[in-house]
Amino acid sequence: MQSNSDEDNEVLRLAHSMDLPYPVHVSQELSEQIMPNEFLTGLGIQYADRIKTILGILKGNMVPKEAHFGGMSNQGIVFPLALAKGPLIKEELISIRAELKEDGGEAVIVLTVIPEEE
């Protein structure tokens, strides 16, 4: 398993390679939700692949702003993601919120998981 620093660097690298307009940070809770367990890792499911999927959905949901991607509403973007869970290989639906926030004077997109209502 990677350290949080390695995971953060991988997310930043992937977001940059996908031409997202802002750096992307993943909350600890979301990171834990999407981290495949040992069984799923053995089947070839990787954290980086799940991040690529999330970033692709995020980019597809961003509204073009002045001919470049940069438009996010004040409420952010919410989208569902189906995740395979093991060892019974069932899919679980989670909701992810992407919000534009300020981090040290720099605009960043923060991805968080929306907790299930009980």
Give residue-wise pLDDT tens across range 2-36: 446 788 899 999 999 999 989 999 999 999 999 99
Q: How many domains does the chain have?
A: 1
Q: How far is Cα 16 from Cα 21, in angstroms, rounded to an integer? A: 8
Q: How far is Cα 79 from Cα 81, in angstroms, rounded to an integer? A: 7
Q: How far is Cα 84 from Cα 104, in angstroms, rounded to an integer? A: 35
Amino acid, single-letter form, for residue 69: F
Mean predicted lDDT score pLDDT of the chain: 85
Task: Give the model's confidence band at 46: pLDDT under 50 very low, under 70 low, under 90 confident, else very high.
Answer: very high
What pLDDT digit, counting tens, does each position of 62-85 carry? 866 544 445 565 668 899 999 988
Domain of 49 in residue numbering reads as 4-114
Report phi then psi at 12, rounded to 5.
Answer: -60, -45
pTM of the model: 0.83
